[in-house]
Amino acid sequence: MKIQLRGTPDFHFEAKSPENDYTFSIGASKSIGGDESGFRPMQVLLASLGGCSGIDVVNILKKSRVEFDSIDIEINGDRKPDSTPSPFTHIRLLFRVHGKNVDKTKVEKAVSLSVGKYCSAITSLDPAITIETVTEVVE
């Protein structure tokens, strides 16, 4: 796996996957001279956790024959205050599965399997980071 980044003096980076030419922007906060022109690196990290676990959850639900319309994932991260570096200390993932007659127990099991066993992004984190999950089913 390989990712390439090209940056400019104003803290703007373009990340690119040479495997498929997908790109996205990474930028810096105004507090250090950036212009907020893209995801900040810690936001990318949270998005990666949500994407990784979301793919797992969808895969597990499909294998469990759970029919649903969509899934929303909201990720919130708390960071160590007044610290450099300022790593995450607590991450909360809210999984909201939409659909009629969705079995919440199966959703909870899928989330638990993803976060506790299958999601490579989450298992790559420092074990000191507390990971909290919440599941909701919306008809």
Q: Where are the domains of the chain?
A: 1-39, 41-138
- DSSP element (H, E) containing 42: helix 41-63
**pTM of structure:** 0.93
Neighbours of 119 (CB within 10 A): 25
72-96 per-position pLDDT tens digit? 999 999 999 999 999 999 999 999 9
CA 1 to chain centre: 18
CATH class of 41-138: alpha beta
48-59 per-position pLDDT tens digit? 999 999 999 999
3-43 per-position pLDDT tens digit? 999 999 999 999 999 999 999 999 999 999 999 889 999 99
